[in-house]
Amino acid sequence: MTEKRFEICPTSELPPGDRVITTLDGISIGVFNIDGEYHALKNDCPHQRAPLCEGKLTGTTESTAPGQYEWTADGQIVQCPWHGWEFDVTTGESVFNPHSVKAKTFQTTVESTGEARGGSSAEAAGGSPPCSSCETSEVDGEPPVDTYDVEVEHDTVVVYL
Amino acid sequence: MTDTTTIPAESSASSNEISLVDADIHQRWADDEEITQYLPPRYKDDGIVAPTLLYRNPGGFFRQEDVADDGTKPGTDLEKLASTHLDENNIDYGMLTGNSWFNLAALPNRDYAVELARAYNEWLVNDCLPVDDRFLGSLYVAPKAPEESAELIREYGDNPQIRQVMIPGGAEVPYGRPQYWPMYEAAEEMNLAIAVHPFSEGHGTSNAPTGAGHPNSYIEWHTLLGAYYMGQLASIVTEGVFVEYPDLRWAFIEGGYGWLPHFMWRLDKNWKGLRSQAPWLEQRPSQYIRDNVWFASQPIEEPETPEQHNQILDMMHADEMLVFASDYPHWDGDDPTWGLPPMEDSVERAVRYENAMELWDLPRNQ
């Protein structure tokens, strides 16, 4: 495999509807979070090489009959900032001619990176009843606190070129 | 559906091979009474009251040698029209387009416009078409009354010589609007083409004849007919007329064709970025034009060199869309023998008759 692997950012930094534009191996690439799925698109419109990924992220229209509009693919269509050509971010295909006009896409995954660290965090017990078998005591009127071990995975958005 | 085989088989053409179809021949009535006899009683006393063209042509509007000494205008004697124009030019079919001056889209009263259209159609089927089997007929309708116009189309459209419905180039709103669609539905159902011919542009209640406003002179008015047609064509394509009526055949007469490459390229280019405004279009807009629309040749474009004309023909797909028209007996007509510039044989056959046969679904053997 000659694929090159690039870590883009933690998933927490790329919420749904957001995108990040970055340069990987000299190529400008937009990485999008569309409804929790990550997609990478070359930032280069096949028409006149506009920075495609800087365009409006929107939906588009379909129709069943003249005069009828249906809104579809909401948040999944990037509209080229220059001439308005629409591309489906999830496939790179243009809406007007999906078979032969396409923007280049790249494989994008989410991978766990770094070590899963043991840790702890405190959570208020809320309305749960006191643990009768626990040795607890109220200190200065503070309610009893249950503690749990929590594993935090560090998920990272990864693009392969 | 009209049975295309019922067109009479007689023809005075020298062979049963089709060689020339003329898309625009103007017959006219010598006396208004020929039309007004068919008006209902409520309009008998009115006669023909129609807006008129206010632009003057210094040479007149007819081939001057065909105007009789007594002032009788050419096109009034239909037998003579057949024996001179059709016979002498070996025309196998000639589409009669009537007399522009009704200006039916520029009349303010819808009912009167419908009745005037009906009277014309009566005259056409009773007094014109029976004169010669080679004559084809164009129904008149009143675009401001689309439902009543659809009734006229169904009432007269089964005459086998009737092959199209004519609407004026000028109208109150563009022809893609759904208000007009009952006419298109009827035309498709009756297997008739819709043809746009210049009239009403800037007359009466219709819009200014150019987007820039009212011209100063006839040279401006006549030059810009194609610009008016561009507005109509953009409307009917983008509003989805050919999506709704995929078998509808449409013709633009006398508005030129040299602008078509520009128009089709620009429309397709815009569609790539603006497709979402007309998502019902299932293919690039120019494809609807190539599949559903024809253009009459007269007045033929005369670029600086013959090669440039052939380039236009190539760019516009003339082999699919261009049909010969003489516009006889008007001043700017093209002669059936000398009017067409040299072009490739296959294109010339398409322009002389093959495209017209398709436009009007004419039988191959007369």
Q: What is the ipTM of this complex?
A: 0.82
List the beta bridge partners of residue A10. A156
Contacts of B241 in chain A (CB under 8 A): 66
- Tell if the CB–CB gap between B240 and A61 is shorter than 8 Å: no
- Tell if the CB–CB gap between A67 and B239 is shorter than 8 Å: yes
- Tell if the CB–CB gap between B275 and A95 is shorter than 8 Å: yes
CA distances from B89 to B61, B84, B92, B137, B302 (A): 22, 8, 9, 19, 22
Burial of A90-120, coded b for 16+ CB within 10 Å and e otherwise, reads: bebbbbbeeeebbbebbebebeeeeeeeeee
pLDDT of the residue at A127? 39
pLDDT of the residue at B120? 97
Tell me the shortest Cα–Cα distance from B235 to chain A, in angstroms.
Answer: 12
- Tell if the CB–CB gap between A83 and B239 is shorter than 8 Å: no
CA distances from B218 to B57, B103, B238, B258 (A): 6, 17, 31, 20
Q: Give the ranges where chain A is alpha helix by DSSP (H).
A: none
- Cβ atoms within 10 Å, residue B112: 20
- Cβ atoms within 10 Å, residue A7: 11
- Tell if the CB–CB gap between B271 and A69 is shorter than 8 Å: no
Nearest chain B alpha carbon to A101: B272
Residues of chain B with pLDDT under 50: 1-5, 8-15
Which residue from A65, A70, A86 is facing B275, i.e. has the nearest CB? A86
Cα angle, residue B185 at apex, residues B119 and B327 outer, rounded to 5°: 55
* Token pair recorded at residue B288: 């609807």
User: Which helix or strand (DSSP H or E) is residue B229 part of?
Assistant: helix B225-238
Which residue from B272, B275, B280 is facing A65, i.e. has the nearest CB? B280
Contact A50, A56 (CB under 8 A): no
Which residues of B lie inside 8 Å of A (Cβ-Cβ)? 178, 239-241, 243-244, 271-277, 279-280, 284
Q: Is B205 exposed, middle or buried (0-12, 13-18, 19+ CB in 10 A)?
A: middle
Contacts of B279 in chain A (CB under 8 A): 60-63, 69-70
A118: phi then psi, degrees, rounded to nearest 5 = -70, 145
- Tell if the CB–CB gap between B280 and A96 is shorter than 8 Å: no
Contact B103, B168 (CB under 8 A): yes
Taking alpha carbons only, the member of B252, B142, B260 closest to residue B206 is B142
Contacts of A74 in chain B (CB under 8 A): none
Which residue from A47, A65, A96 is facing B275, i.e. has the nearest CB? A96
CA distances from B339 to A104, B60, B223, B352 (A): 52, 20, 19, 11
Which residue from A68, A85, A97 is facing B273, i.e. has the nearest CB? A85
Is the peptide bond prior to B329 cis by the omega test (within 30 degrees of 0)?
yes
Which residues of A lie inside 8 Å of B (Cβ-Cβ)? 47, 60-70, 80, 83-86, 94-97
- Tell if the CB–CB gap between A66 and B273 is shorter than 8 Å: no
Which residue from A61, A94, A97 is facing B279, i.e. has the nearest CB? A61
Q: Is A58 exposed, middle or buried (0-12, 13-18, 19+ CB in 10 A)?
A: middle
Residues of chain A with pLDDT under 70: 1-2, 114-153
User: Which helix or strand (DSSP H or E) is residue B286 part of?
Assistant: helix B285-292
pLDDT of the residue at A142? 54
Contact B297, B327 (CB under 8 A): no
Which residue from B239, B273, B276 is facing A83, i.e. has the nearest CB? B273
pLDDT of the residue at B17? 80
Taking alpha carbons only, the member of A117, A120, A110 closest to residue A153 is A117
CA distances from B265 to B269, B291, B301 (A): 6, 16, 19
Tell me the shortest Cα–Cα distance from B288 to chain A, in angstroms.
Answer: 14
Q: Mind listing the pLDDT tens digit for each residue in B171-196?
A: 889 999 999 999 999 999 999 999 99
pLDDT of the residue at A147? 60
Q: Mind listing the pLDDT tens digit for each residue in B307-320?
A: 999 999 999 999 99
Q: What distance in Å separates the CA atoms of residue B309 and residue B294, rounded to the nearest whole number?
A: 18
Q: Mind listing the pLDDT tens digit for each residue in A44-55?
A: 999 999 999 999
Does the model's pTM come out above 0.90? no
A12: phi then psi, degrees, rounded to nearest 5 = -65, -20
Contacts of B179 in chain A (CB under 8 A): none
- Tell if the CB–CB gap between A67 and B240 is shorter than 8 Å: yes
Contacts of A80 in chain B (CB under 8 A): 273
Task: Give the distance from CA B143 to its chain's centroid.
Answer: 14
Question: Scanning the structure block, which residue is given the tokens 């068919």?
Answer: B38
Share above pLDDT 70 across residues of chain A, in percent, rounded to a whole number: 74
pLDDT of the residue at B13? 44
* Token pair recorded at residue A102: 């396409």
- Tell if the CB–CB gap between A84 and B241 is shorter than 8 Å: no
